[in-house]
Amino acid sequence: MKQEIKEYIQSIIATDAPKGSDLLEEGREIGREMQPLESRFIRERGVKNLNEWKLKNIEEGKIMWQLILGRPNNKEQIEAIKELYEFTQRLGIECGTIYEIPSMECGLPVDCRKGYTGTTSVVLNSIDDYLEQAESAPIHILFGCHHLNSPNAIATTTMSIKAGSNLIGIFSQYLWHRQGFDDDMAHMADVIKALGILSVFNDKYYATDTYPEDAFGGYFMDVVSVAGYALLEHHLIRNLCGCRSTVNFGGLLGEIPTRIALGVAFQRMLGTEDQALWEMWNGSTTEQWDHDIEGNFGLMDQEALAEILANWHYKLGGVIAPNAITEKVRVAEFKEQLDVLASGFFVEQKAKEWVDLIDWSPIDKIADVIVEQSQIMFNNILEGFKEAGVDIEDPMQIMMILKRFNPGKFEAAFHPSTYNTDSNEIKSFYPTVLGRQTMAMTDEVIDELKEAGKEDCLKGKRVVLGSGDGHTYSVFLLDNVLTAMGAEVVNGGVDLDPVDFLDLADEEGIDNVLVSVHNGQCYDVAKQILELAKDRDAEFNIYMGGQLNAILPGHSESTDMTEALLELGINATNDVIATIDNLSKN
């Protein structure tokens, strides 16, 4: 390992962290006092747990489908669950699970929620909210985002278990910052305790789910790195915390060969006979059109076909969760989610005609490489941590290192092509689509600006840049384009609160602030930034791009907020060249 990386790891070791073994035992004491509910899904499906239902379907060759669902409030969420069950029963779709995406607010302790910038999803406030959903239909509710991974992990985990949810996630989101909560030590400690709680119910096949693309995997340029990091997560969860785990992926991995091969590789490395490894194949979000969006049915259906055939051939049992065709531009209406589910199910009806036409040997070869090289990367990570003085048997020490590790440095530090070499240039075995797309788009924008004679048009300009959520690629693109045009960029990274943008701008004496946002954030973030600026008696040029939508009070569907943001005085656009032009004039 490079000396600079060794010294960097040593600088972020949490020497004052509590022992992971003590935290796990605290969690287990909580778990031993709990009695999970036997949910309506369990009672009416005639199985002991979700895992048994999955194994049964895998053996029978049944394809399992799933919606990722997060309506604006609990009433609408329950109505959607009931409607989904009636819809799938009418068509004969095997859809026994819902992956719930609630508001990020659920991940915050109640006393930390004041001033939170809202998103577009339901807030679960009490055990009654969980129970009402669990009992609304014989569908298993997987309480995923902003649960076991969050500063509110103990409360969300216990309520999920009490409501009978056998799968709680998403572990990978421990990396996300939560607005209003800055104590990383307390956050990681509670995640470890939550794993301890869950481990009490191993015999009932309760597990935590991981989604590597929501952690370091979202920064990587190589699919091998995604797999290597996933091995680290599963080692921490299974071997160090004694908890069951499952995996899902797909949002950032659009190319079908590597998408399928990664699933095969995970099954080979992490699959066990008694437990279904797969939670879901998430629909990809990297290649959808933002125009003529009906064309996105073609993308979703191709992915579904490949996943159906792979499930049959390899007995993977991956639940298929197609994204709605609106994913690139806005939150989907519930009817639009049902439409894409029906389309995928129609693909399933014709898929058997493809079974004898597929040669799986290219997939096997890719999977072989991913298995071999990702295990090398996993070993590099543990070896590097140990060499730097990390106690690699203590899950708390590892989690604090991961929480503090700059995600932009992680892949180059441990990738098989760069570890123990002088190079930081990664030679990808199978590039991630989003990484490659972002680099290509960066080059295209820079070339267009140069051809228009705008090279160095930002010379002398200073800019603060950051993201209000955990997504990094827009920040990567803008940083490179702005720098190429001569600007000095102060990159604050991701997961920034509104106050963070202005604090950074004040510290650096910069007036231009670029804010990237995700679904539902834009209007609240804009208003908070402007109010903070007013309190400071300061003026800033605020630029905002990304998912410029929100669900307004009294509404059920998202609204394009671009005009509202412009009225507030925010420079709101997703046109990078227009942003460059505006910046050059300020």
Q: Alpha carbon of 510 to those of 499, 505, 538, 539, 572: distances in Å?
A: 14, 5, 11, 10, 19
Residue 118: the pLDDT is 59
- Residue 542 contacts residue 477 (beta carbons within 8 Å): no
* DSSP track, 227-255: HHHHHHHHIIIIIIT--EEEEEE-TT---
Residues of the chain with CATH 3.40.50.280: 433-585
Distance CA 370, CA 227 (A): 7
- Residue 512 contacts residue 462 (beta carbons within 8 Å): yes
Contacts of 262 (CB under 8 A, 6+ apart): 223, 226, 227, 249, 253, 367, 370
What is the separation of C-alpha 48 from the centre of its chain, rounded to a whole number of angstroms?
A: 29
H/E segment holding residue 261: helix 256-270
Q: What is the pLDDT along the chain (586 residues), one digit of tens a residue?
A: 889 999 999 999 999 999 999 999 999 999 999 999 899 999 999 999 999 999 999 999 999 999 999 988 999 999 999 999 999 999 999 999 999 989 888 999 988 887 666 566 889 989 999 999 999 999 999 998 899 999 999 999 999 999 999 999 899 999 988 877 889 999 999 999 999 999 999 999 999 999 998 888 888 889 999 999 999 999 999 999 999 999 999 888 888 999 999 999 999 999 999 999 988 999 987 788 889 999 999 999 999 999 999 999 999 999 999 989 988 778 788 999 999 999 999 999 999 999 999 999 999 999 999 999 999 999 999 999 999 999 999 999 999 999 999 887 899 999 999 998 988 888 999 988 766 666 677 788 888 888 888 888 988 889 999 887 766 667 777 888 888 888 898 888 777 888 888 998 898 999 999 998 876 778 888 888 999 889 999 889 999 888 787 766 666 666 788 888 898 999 988 888 888 888 888 7
Report the residue count for the chain: 586
Over the Cα atoms of the chain, what is R_g?
23
**Burial of 353 per CB tally in 10 Å (0-12, 13-18, 19+):** exposed
Write the Ramachandran bin of 509: left for phi over 0, alpha for psi from -120 to 50, otherwise beta.
left
Residue 557: the pLDDT is 67
Architecture of domain 433-585 in CATH? 3-Layer(aba) Sandwich (3.40)
CB atoms within 10 A of CB 532: 17
Residue with tokens 């191709």: 302
CATH of domain 3-363: 3.20.20.440
- Residue 225 contacts residue 417 (beta carbons within 8 Å): no
Residue 434: the pLDDT is 65
Residues of the chain with CATH 3.20.20.440: 3-363
Residue 409: the pLDDT is 85
Residue 444: the pLDDT is 84
Residue with tokens 């991630």: 432
Q: Model pTM?
A: 0.83
- Residue 494 contacts residue 520 (beta carbons within 8 Å): no
Residue 366: the pLDDT is 98
Residue 471: the pLDDT is 64
Contacts of 220 (CB under 8 A, 6+ apart): 226, 229, 411, 432, 435
